[in-house]
Chain A
Amino acid sequence: MLKIDVLMRRFETDELEELLRQKKDQYFMYPSERVWKNIEKNIQPSQTLTIVSAVLLFLLSAGISVLFNEQKLSTFTPPSGQLAFQLSENKWESTLPIVSIHGGAPSNKSESFFERHRFENAVTLVPSSDPETLEHPLQAPLFAPIVMERNWINPITALPKNKRPGILQSISNVFDKAKQIGKEAKWQIYFSPTMGYRSLRGSSSSSNYLYNSYSFSTTSLFANTVKDAVIHKPGMGFEAGAALYYPITKNLSVKAGLQANYQQYEILASRVYPEIATYGMNNVGFTTQPINAVSNYINANNYTSSVTLRNERFMISMPLGIDYKVIGNKMLYFTVASTIQPTYVLNSSAYLISTNLRNYAKAPNLNRRWNINTGIEANVHFQKGSYKWSVGPQFRYQLLQSFTDKYPIKENLYDIGLRVGIMKTF
């Protein structure tokens, strides 16, 4: 049918069609600049989005921290007209809620919404003679079950612990534990300017290149190992995040948090006319095929066309670790900490050196998205007003290489920084 169509077309072609075909490629129009800008916005990963994500992440962490501390603060302020007990000199000092010695709702009608709301969160202690219902060691001689204000009674916590039904008991225990952790844990927000760099391992492999006739780059003419062949420099980055500290013993705390890392280092290269560079081999069935990329840069310092490239990564991590107090008192002390950090690379703009050590190009398919970092730090902590500050050096090292196993050159990132943290205390 298609052949008939083609024959028909030849037969039917007349003067008009001939004219149209002759003229169709003789006139071109040039699009306005906005078209390419809009296309570029759609096809290139947005740097703005990355920065906005980082800021949002940081604000979220900070917000959680502030909110958490605000809630703790509100439970401490006695509502107007109510008698509050200030308990001191014990570990409950910073966690005990306000207590009222009468069970009725507040009668002061002029109190603000905020005060009323605060009062709703308060706890009233009702005299009791049943020692089994004691919730708090300091309430022992005088008070028993905890009953919420406004005649609302928590059916679980109102029951003595040993008389609660099984499932309710379990739920209750979980909530009790969570509440206790919440009361004893403290949030810290921190920021570190960092200096980032990398370690490189691997050697040149001229058997993998296909397209160009150079087996080695100009700088690597006498150097087969990648670390001797390249010209790299450390670059400035940062780390920011929030961490929750929970004391296990007097001197040991566990910590968990969320942090953002921006890491970069610099590469000295020279611009060249595009070449195809090889970055490894892919197994396809019983054969192997080279992994190629277009390269506009060579690993050489040609002064007329030299250019500084940046290998940049933006990552989010969840540091989990321990913090040990080595020496000091409550106002001034010294700690060391270690973390393991599952990491996700949100954005990577990295130039890889080709397997023959000649070219630099981006090869996004070879980037590893998930990684694990480890961190060690030493901090001096000191109390200033109601804030606890901490300052100290930190070192972070990427445990898995930055690229997939198909790329024979191994890169591990690391950075050192000065960590400044702040923690609200009461």
Chain B
Amino acid sequence: MTEEILILGCQQKNPQAQQELYQRYSPKMLTVCYRYAKSREDAEDMLQEGFIKVFTQINQFEQRGSLEGWILRTIVHTCINQLKKYKKFTEHVDLLHAESLISNEDNLSSMLQAKQIIECIRQLPIGYRTVLNLYALEGYSHREIGRLLDIEESTSRSQYTRAKMMLEDILVKKNIMQPKKEKSKWLVPVNG
């Protein structure tokens, strides 16, 4: 089924087209949700709510960009709205805390590298991982992230820098990434 037929079918509430669209995009979108969620169950709940929005709002899709991009934005916004209910995104976590987080997990070495990276991202505190996901993986700007999460643009930048530092440390420790030879002074952990 071509994308054009798929969109038209979904706009006309054709069950076959709806199922086809879901089957085509749900694996990728569940992975996106999983990066934001606390657990797989939460990720599936986010996916469910996101796809309900996709199907109910598909008449608003104007076919200017790609369908996948539009679905991704809808899913990401759903994830953010879910997270907003429970969390504030302004809290900072020091790197000492990060060390303790790393030491809690043990079996990453057996996983595929792509999955390992996702699991490592999920080790980050919620504020850090949300900003990192939005900036580094979804391609939002800090200004857009600020608007989306109701935080200052500068807060988004600092959260991202800290998230990156923390993730680097995790990835190095898991031998997914080589350690940097020199760290610049401003990246020294706040408690270190």
Contact = CB atoms under 8 A, between A and B. Distances in A.
Interface stretch (B74-82, B89-97, B100-108, B134-142): B134-142
A249 interface: no
**Residue in A274, A292, A363 whose Cβ sees the most chain B Cβ within 10 Å:** A274
A45 B98 CA distance: 48
State the majority secondary structure of interface residues on B: helix
Contacts of A23: 113-114, 117-118
B70 interface: no
A88 interface: no
A38 B48 contact: yes
Contact of A296 (B13, B16, B56, B121): B16
**Residue in B27, B28, B136, B143 whose Cβ sees the most chain A Cβ within 10 Å:** B136
Interface in A268-308: 274-276, 292-294, 296
A49 interface: no
Given A16-B177, A17-B136, A19-B177, A31 B47 contact: yes
B24 to A, nearest CB: 11
A38 B46 CA distance: 12
Interface string A1-37: 1100100010000011101110111111111101110
Given A16-B168, A23-B114, A42-B52, A30 B27 contact: yes
A364 interface: yes
A30 B164 contact: no
Contact of B17 (A17, A26, A28, A294): A294
B173 interface: no
6 contacts: A26-B114, A28-B31, A35-B47, A39-B55, A274-B16, A292-B8
Nearest to A28: B27
Contacts of B164: 16-17
A362 interface: yes
A44 interface: yes
A29 B111 CA distance: 14
Interface of A: 1-2, 5, 9, 15-17, 19-21, 23-32, 34-36, 38-40, 42-44, 274-276, 292-294, 296, 361-365
A5 B16 contact: no
B44 A39 contact: no
B67 interface: no
Given A26-B114, A39-B52, 5 more contacts: A20-B137, A24-B137, A36-B22, A274-B1, A274-B5
A31 B31 contact: no
Nearest to B23: A36
**Residue in A17, A25, A30, A294 whose Cβ sees the most chain B Cβ within 10 Å:** A294
Contact of A294 (B8, B47, B114, B177): B8
Given A16-B177, A28-B28, A36-B19, A365 B12 contact: yes
A361 B117 contact: no
B22 to A, nearest CB: 6
B142 A362 contact: no
B47 A276 contact: no
Interface of B: 1, 4-5, 8-9, 12-19, 22, 26-28, 30-31, 34, 40, 43-44, 47-48, 51-52, 55-56, 112-115, 117-118, 121, 136-137, 141-143, 164, 167-168, 171, 176-177
A35 B48 contact: yes
Given A16-B171, A43-B18, A31 B26 contact: yes
A296 B142 CA distance: 45
Contacts of B48: 35, 38-39
Contacts of A19: 117, 171, 176-177
B112 A27 contact: yes
Contacts of B171: 16, 19
A276 B8 contact: yes
A32 B44 contact: yes
B26 to A, nearest CB: 5
Nearest to B113: A23
A43 B8 contact: no
A86 B95 CA distance: 97
Contacts of B9: 274, 293-294
A20 B117 contact: yes
A43 B177 contact: no
Contacts of A17: 136, 164
B56 A43 contact: yes
A364 B171 CA distance: 53
